[in-house]
Structure 1
C-alpha cells in the first residue's frame, strides 16, 4: 500500500472533462485507488465519487493505492494531477 499527499496543479482542478479522462485511465490499473479530501474518502475509479469531492486547483489531497501495480498507478495519478497529462 502506498499513501502520498499530492498538490493539485491541473488548471481548474478535476472538472468534468479531466475527471472523465482521469477515471478512464485509472480504471486500467488493477490496484485499488482512493482519494482523500478532508473527511471524504472515495473510490477514484468512479466518476460520480470523484465529482462529489470537487478537487480544485491548489488543493492537496491524499492518494491511497493498494495492489500489484500501485507504483505505476501512483506515477500516473501524480503526473495527471500536476499536469493534466500522463
Structure 2
C-alpha cells in the first residue's frame, strides 16, 4: 500500500510541486491543471493547448510497447472526455 502511495503513478510525488508553478486561474486557463485530469490553455486564434501526464511504469517495464500504449490510451481518454 505504501509503495503505491509513494509511486509517481498513484501519488504524483514529483509532479505535484511542478503543477503548482502553473497559473491556476487566468483568462487564458480554460481548464485548471488537475481539475479534469488535464490542463487546457487558450493560445489565441481559437486554438488551445492541452497538457496531460500519464504514467504507466508497471506495464511498461513488463511489456514496453503495449505498456506504453496503455498510457497513451489514458491520455486520449482524459483529453477527450
* TM-score, normalising length: structure 1: 0.30
* Larger strand fraction of residues: 1
* Larger helix fraction of residues: 2
Select the structure with the greater relative contact order (CA < 8 A; seq sep ≥ 6).
Answer: 1
* TM-score, normalising length: structure 2: 0.32
- Higher Cα radius of gyration: 2
